[in-house]
Amino acid sequence: MATNEEAPKTENGVVRRVVVAEDEAVIRLDIVEMLREVGYDVVGEAADGESAIRLAEELRPDLVVMDIKMPVLDGISAAERIAKARIAPVVLLTAFSQKELVERARDAGAMAYVVKPFTSNDLVPALEIALSRHAEIAALESEIADMTDRFETRKLVERAKSLLISNMGLSEPEAFRWIQKTSMDRRLTMREVAETVLEQIGSKKSNPRTLIGP
């Protein structure tokens, strides 16, 4: 059995929290014991897809391990909803390995799948792969969002510079330095300064010389 030091952990050192969904109680118990033996913290158990979604929304685990064939709502449909809500990576369990089923699981957003019957040596690597893939995707999405924000900020600053040049008689370098200095003096981001310039000068609400207040 893994010790706490050996247990899979998040970046801040907290043991990974897992929700397990399997309609057959005996198999679910086996999965829970298997996960706990290698150091995962099983925080919730469900017997159908709808219950799995509710637990995932409520508990916000690091991972959801879920059987495909379950009552009320099947695992693939549940995985799709969990993935769309950006709650946690999902690992699907199945007794079948047909290409069509694997493709459906992938399209639903599942990060990995494991074919029954399986041992801890089969399950644990799949969980770690799912966690790693999820982290990579999250990092990429964050990077894209950051790039988009920087691009939008640059466009706003360029528009604000144009207004400052035409309304205050500044050169382009002077307009940029004005935005920088105002940003530092007012403890605002350059984007916030640019937006204020566009609002106040663009709508003729303010004399450019008294922009953003005292």
pLDDT in tens, 8-65: 666 666 789 999 999 999 999 999 999 999 999 999 999 999 999 999 999 999 999 9
Domain ranges of the chain: 17-118, 147-210
The domain over range 17-118 is classified in CATH as 3.40.50.2300: yes
- Fold of the 147-210 domain: Arc Repressor Mutant, subunit A (1.10.10)
Whether this prediction's pTM lies above 0.85 is answered by: no
Residue 194: Cβ-neighbour burial (10 angstroms; 0-12, 13-18, 19+): buried
pLDDT digits over 158-175, tens only? 999 998 888 888 898 889
- For residue 182, give every residue at least 6 positions away whose Cβ sits within 8 Å of its Cβ, in sequence order, or none: 188, 193, 211, 212
How large is the C-alpha radius of gyration of the chain? Answer: 26
